[in-house]
Structure 1
Amino acid sequence: MAFVVLGTGTAGYLYLRHLEGNVTTTDVGDAGKGGFSRDEAFTILVIGTDKRTGKGNGGYGDRGSTGHADTTILLHVAEDRTNATALSIPRDLIVDIPDCPTKLEDGSQKVVPGQRGVRFNRSLGEGGRDPGCTMRTVAGVTGIKPDHFMMADFNAVKTLTAAVDGVTVCLEHPVDDRESKLRLPAGESTVEGEDALAFVRTRHSFGNQGDLDRIRAQQHFLASLMRKMASGDTLTDPGRLLRLAEAATKALTVDTGIGKVSTLKDIALELRKVPTRNIAFTTVPVRDNPAEAVKATVVLDESKAPQLFEAIRDDVPLTEVEERRKKDNARESAADAARLKGPRAPASEVRVRVLNGGAPAGSAQETVRWLQAEQGVVEAENAGNAFAARSRSTLEYAPDQAAQARRLADIMGLPGSALKPGGSVTGSQGLPTMTLTLGRDFLGAGVRLDRSRTVMPDVEKSTADTVECAR
């Protein structure tokens, strides 16, 4: 929010140049994206490390800690900016950490060997693992590849909360925690600095004293911080905005793809478009590790986790906006639905050229092989890359090819909105041919593109506009 306000006028420009020197960056290579686009969905891995550097932090926990992924949230912002999902990843989740190429300070590169069946928090810090290793681990676990990362340590909690003059938290019962030094009465309190850090570190006073209950308390804290940053009191107070900008740039480490303050400002502008009521917090579905007699770690709940990951990948909201969108679609998609009604041509008569318009490399050829070998669309051909990338896959066809288009829509799971009546082109055999362009929504040959088929699992969630008390 500070970047948004400061990004106007000459004085704002000069101050942004000053802030540029505060930003710390890490090159994570191909673990992330090279830049940021305001026209796409984006996913940022927010990492809270337990590194003890900074004034007053040496006495917390493991004094010599290299800094592990203590608190990790995968923040996915939908392409249309109507909603966002913040997915917490438990630090004690058992995962496979892949081999991780890392760049050293002298510019050389080394590969940190991976490990199988270890705690997720070991994906950072141990053996020289950088945030790129955590990003690769998240991609392997969830199938969602983070575009960028933002990392903060203990100091970030203290300085950011002080910059906004404190964050309101709520407790169902009074807390006097000897481990974290948190002492608060029941009900609402305002915390900042050391008290704010104690709140997010507290585990033994919430729920069953495990990390999952601490995660819920942290989600309540972050929701309150979001409300405070978006409030009129913050946005209309120049002094508070300056403190917030200084604190944010000094506290955060980001990847080189978003390492410029102007890019961070763009991200802030896009985040600002999402209503707090449609920012949902949830946690990776897990269950106790069956391999342990004394329960200390967790594993994925395979009955829920895959569906949740798929919903996030498909931009399906966890909030009320999805119901509203379904109603809007029902009113607006009569013409789209009509395109799917009518006779279907045999698969052997479907002629289509496939273009890659933003899907992963090799997707066009993969799709052609799948259509020919498994679906009987023998007249499919690879036409290379489209002139421009697009967010959604489309099928363009001439009026006399409507029966072919409906057959291919059935095979690919294309919704009616993806069908674009118009003209056809001449294929390699000299015959009129439809054009299928695979967009960024393409997840692989055989994976249906009809987003309405995504199943929303029953998971516990909350929204950023709701005040909840930790218990």
Structure 2
Amino acid sequence: MDAQGRGRADDVDPADQWVLNPRTGEYELRLPSSAPQSAVPGPRRSAPRDTTEGAKGRRTAAPGREVPPQRRRRGTPPQEPAPRRRGRRPAKKKSRGKKVLMWTGGTMAFVVLATGVGGYLYLKHLEGNVTTTDVGDAGSSSFKKDEAFNILIVGTDKRTGEGNEGYGDKGSTGHADTTILLHVAKDRSNATALSIPRDMIVDIPDCPTTQEDGTQKVIPGSSGVRFNTSLGQDGRDAGCTMRTVKEATGIQPHHFMMADFNAVKTLTTAVGGVNVCVEHAVDDPKSHLKLPAGESRIEGEQALAFLRTRHSFGNEGDLDRIKVQQQFLGSLMRQMSSSDTLTSPTKLIKLAEAATKALTVDSAIGKVGTLKDIALELKKVPTKNITFLTVPVVDNPTEKVRATVVPNQSKAPQVFDMIKNDVSFTEVKKKEKKEAAAVAARLKGTKSDPGEVRVRILNGGAPSGSAQLELNYLQTEAGVTKSENAGNAPEELKKTTLEYAPDQADQARRLADILGLSGSAMKPGESVTNSQGLPTMTLTLGKDFKGAGVKLDAASIETPEVEKSTADKVQCAS
């Protein structure tokens, strides 16, 4: 029996597998007596509440089993129930909806991941639905809850599954048809979903892959090819796509989630449909999409057709299709987090089943506990601070007939750097304590010329090599030529600091302005000397260091002019 049907009674609604325990007043996952211990919970059975006087000392039901009523001797009248004591109110039971919501957690992972935080056995069942792939060192070997993380979400054009024969390229091995790099900020205040055009020209590096028999094979790389060939082509796996993203953007994907056409159909059906909006009526004979102008609710085949149509919006190109996909995903997210979904045990379970059956993930996150942790971390991000944008691109200058695109070198590098350095594309309001007047005053006053600033740089917790990278930036771009790399600090710091003597205050204010330092980061102290014996300030890069040239005060960074949207806004495709 496959993982999807293991141990399940026929025609039993999964939502009916939660059982009220009369002793605790809580809903529990119960197994039928004939089911194996690793099975999915069986149908709901409520043990009869025994209120007879002879109930004392009687055996109680084991979890998942009913205690049959005792037989009454002939001629013995049924006993009256014991009277309830006066002055004692019956215990107030929590509502079924709230109790089930506590079990399932109402947590949905972004786009394709949905899992509850209920019973362990049910989560193990969901884990059995998920397919895993070993990507070697292309990603992270574990998931860290206290760090920023990047998940590469890939939708393939592989035509597997019932009813999908008419979609995708004929005979496709499953290319990277839709790709989104999801960055979740360290403080979970925001996230960025960066779409990567499938027709963007990239260099694909050599890719070590694990074959079905467990052997290793290195698939040779390719230069100047479409991004979508980083998956499926010549036997490339998701690890190859992850390596290609790192090569093209400088951003390291930590994990991946891959889904096929069935994911769209089953997810949208599980949540009862997704609302979409179009400015003009659509009748596309190629995708078979028919929609009236305005808002519509779509699911299943119609939802897949909406995502795949290229001839109803914009200039009928892939870039316009990406915008429509982003609008759809924002709507799906809103539906997943709506009260209609979160308070419906049936929808939650159907959504979890649909998502996990459609997923392929890297081995590091294929365990039940890790999937749950990711879902809980994603739940913390407000939808208003989830930004959708696409890699800024221009037409490929080497082509006469426009078919592919290349990164826009005036905008794309800054977008990549902001994601890599955990900078939000939305205005995130942070709760910060007001600095004392004396601390804030450290930033006020005259500032020295950059060429007069003398500073030594120590690495006190930033990534390896940060001191040298910051030195290069200060000397070549900021004009702070009297600076030097002083190696590692004696201890690690959470926050970057700048120590200076009273007579170096003008220099300190200039450097603080260049680096985006707050008044609390400036530490007045005694004078020290550099390697030449001259008085100097000390800049210690802490764990909050975001990269050479990136100001520590993220609000001071100017966001490049790129088209973007947020998950909380309703938009109409045009």
Change (3 A) 1:466 1:377: closer
CA distance in 2, matches of 1:226, 1:436: 41
Cα distance in 2, alignment partners of residues 173 and 399 from structure 1: 67
Q: Secondary structure at the match of 1:310?
A: helix
Q: Is the 8 A contact 2:155 2:178 kept in 1?
A: yes
Aligned to 2:523: 421
Matched residue of 1:92: which SS?
coil
The 8 Å contact of residues 350 and 408 in structure 1, kept in 2 or not, is answered as: no
Q: Which moved more, 1:121-130 or 1:177-186?
A: 177-186
CA distance in 1 between counterparts of 2:199 and 2:182 reads 19
Preserved CA contact (<8 Å) 2:435 2:520: no
Structure with the higher helix share, 1 or 2: 1
Contact 2:504 2:537 in 1 (8 A): no
Select which of 522, 534, 558 maps to 1:455: 558
The equivalent position to 1:443 in structure 2, one of 547, 551, 556, is 547
**Structure 2 match to 1:382:** 487
Which residue of the partner structure matches residue 109 of structure 1? 216
Deviations 1:195-240 (Å, cap 9, x if unpaired)? 1111111111222111111111111111110010000010000011
Q: Secondary structure at the match of 2:320?
A: helix
Alpha-carbon contact 1:46-1:151 (below 8 Å) kept: yes
Give the Cα separation in 2 of the matches to 1:211 and 1:189.
23
Alignment map for 1:362-377 (pairs within 5 Å): 362-364=465-467, 375-377=481-483
- Residue 406 of structure 1: CA displacement? 2.1
Match of residue 217 from structure 1: 324
Q: Is the 8 A contact 1:358 1:439 kept in 2?
A: yes
Whether 1:192 aligns to 2:279 is: no
Q: 1:154 to 1:123 in 2, by over 3 A?
A: same
Write the letter of the residue equivalent to 2:247.
G
Opposite residue 235 of structure 1, the aligned amino acid is L
Quick check: 1:394 aligned with 2:496? yes
The size of the alignment, in residue pairs, is 459
- 1:293 aligns to what? 400
Indicate how the Cα distance of structure 1 residues 365 and 312 shifts in structure 2: closer, same or farther if over 3 A, else same: closer
Q: Indicate the larger mover: 413-422 or 182-191.
A: 413-422
CA distance in 2, matches of 1:81, 1:217: 26
TM-score by length of 1: 0.84
The answer to whether residue 153 in structure 2 is matched with residue 46 in structure 1 is yes
1:145 aligned to 2:252? yes
Candidates 70, 90, 97, aligned match of 2:197: 90
| SS of residue in 2 equivalent to 1:141 | helix
Q: Quick check: which has more Rg, 1 or 2?
A: 2
SS class of match (2:150): strand
Alignment of 1:116-131 (within 5 A): 116-131=223-238
d(CA) in 2 for partners of 1:147 and 1:219? 22
RMSD: 3.6
TM-score by length of 2: 0.70
Pick closer, same or farther for the CA change 1:137–1:195 going to 2, 3 Å: same
CA, structure 1 residues 99+330, in 2 after alignment: closer, same or farther (shift >3 Å)?
A: same
In the aligned structure 1, how far is the partner of 2:518 from the partner of 2:211? 50
* Aligned 1:24-423 pairs, distance under 5 A: 24-319=131-426, 321-322=427-428, 324=429, 337-341=440-444, 350=455, 353-355=458-460, 357-359=461-463, 361-364=464-467, 375-378=481-484, 380-383=485-488, 390=494, 393-395=495-497, 397=499, 403=505, 406=508, 409=511, 413=515, 415-416=517-518, 419=521, 421=523
- TM-superposed CA distance for 1:184, in Å, is 2.1
Alignment partner of 2:288: what SS?
A: coil
Shift of 1:122: 0.8
Shift of the 107–384 alpha-carbon distance from structure 1 to 2, 3 Å rule, reads farther
Query: Which ranges in structure 2 are unaligned for 5 or more consecutive residues?
Result: 1-100, 108-114
